[in-house]
Every structure is written in structure tokens, then in C-alpha cells.
Amino acid sequence: MTEQYLEIHKANIFDKGFTVIPSVFSEEEIEKITETIQNADTSGGNFRKSDDLFAVRQFLKEIPEVKELVFNDTVKTIVRVLFGEKYVAVKSIYFDKPETSNWYVAYHQDLTISVDKKLDMQGFGPWTTKKNQFAVQPPLPILENICTIRIHLDDTDENNGALKVVPGSHAKGIYRPETIDWNTETEEICNVEKGGIMIMKPLTLHGSNRTTDGRRRRVIHIEFSDLELPQELQWSERMN
């Protein structure tokens, strides 16, 4: 995977707010990742289990054995070339929507970051707290700085809940979904094959339709930034 090839994807992220890169992980690498997740102790509070969803918050902290598998040489190169030399992981989630799950996710932007404490700070808010984990909407420049990698452990297309996005919406600040003008905006479905990744800016409007063919969808979601937060505030999941 050459830097010249990656520059094309870097341009896609700048222009459209997302890109899809195939074959980042081999079949063997995907098997090792899924085995590591299956063998993890899921009794902690960051593991959510229901008939519709299995999810892990603070994924890289909860299952540290998976880090060296997720950050293979290709991913390290992608982060360096597409994002920058100083970008580090600041948030991670794993979710598994099983065959019986039929969730619909409306269009939205990812507007919060995970931090270590709640502080009264200008430009930060509203705040939410779940199980002693703090999330807050930060000032716009922090959101604009973040890049997200979504690692697909299964083939994902329009029939099993692939993300749909509004190209270019990442460049329009806080964009309320109810104000989308479909006379001027377009929708694109982001099909990703098993072992591929989707990269997106959190401000890109995105959602997903219900599954229609009963196929499983497992995704690892990792957010990256190279910013230090102000005052004593810290990223709750920051890791190099």
C-alpha cells in the first residue's frame, strides 16, 4: 500500500468526509481478532449484551490483547499518512449486530468525545455521564480534528446495515439532520468488504438502514486525534 495510493484516500476524506480502503487485514488477521474478542472476559460494566447487540466501550482498554492485532503495519501507515505523525487513539468501541438484530440508525453526526472528568469549561457542553464515564460536546475545532477508522470484520453492504453518508457534510459545521435539503444533498452507501476499513470524519452525517438479509455485522470503531485538551481535561482512552 503505497503513500501515493493513500494520498488518493486522503483527498477523499478532505473532499467527501470519508473513504473506503479494502484489504487492510488478511483473513488470518481477522480470525485472530475475532478469537481474541470471543475469549475476553465480558463480565465488566463496559460490556453490553442483549439480543440485538453486543458492544464493548473502551474496547482497546478492556481487551488489551487485541491492540497489536488491530494496529498492524498497514494501519500504522494509514494513520501516519492520512492523519498525521502525532495522531493517537482517543476512543474505541466494538459492536456486533447479530443476524437477528434489525436496528435502524437515523442520520446524525458524532458530536461527543470521551474524557476523564467533568469540568465547567467554556465551549464544552452538554455533558453526559454513563457508568462513571464522561462524554461532552467540545468546541467545533476539536471535532473537526478527529478522524475515525471503522474496521469491518464481516462483509457489509446495503443489505446488512452498511453506513449511508451525506458526502461533504463534514465541512458544514454542526448540521442538524432535520435540515437536510435532499434537493442539494446526495446519499452514498459505503459498502466495505471483510478486512477492509472505512475512514470518516465524525461530522460527516451518517446513519444505517435495517438489515434485510439476516447477515451479521461486526465493526471496530476507533477515533484518533493529535490535540491536547485544555486545562486539566484528558482524553479518557488516550493511547499511543
Mean pLDDT within 94-108: 79
Whether the per-residue pLDDT at 228 is higher than 70: the answer is yes
Question: What's the pLDDT score for residue 159?
Answer: 87
Beta bridge partners of 150: 198, 221
Instruction: Kindly report, residue by residue over 129-182, the tens digit of the pLDDT.
Output: 987 789 999 999 999 999 999 999 999 998 888 999 999 999 999 999 999 999
Cα 133 from Cα 57, distance rounded (Å) = 10
Beta bridge partners of 113: 136
pTM listed for this prediction? 0.94
Beta bridge partners of 105: 208
Region of poorest pLDDT, from 45-54, 101-110, 126-135: 45-54
Level-2 CATH architecture, domain 3-225: Sandwich (2.60)
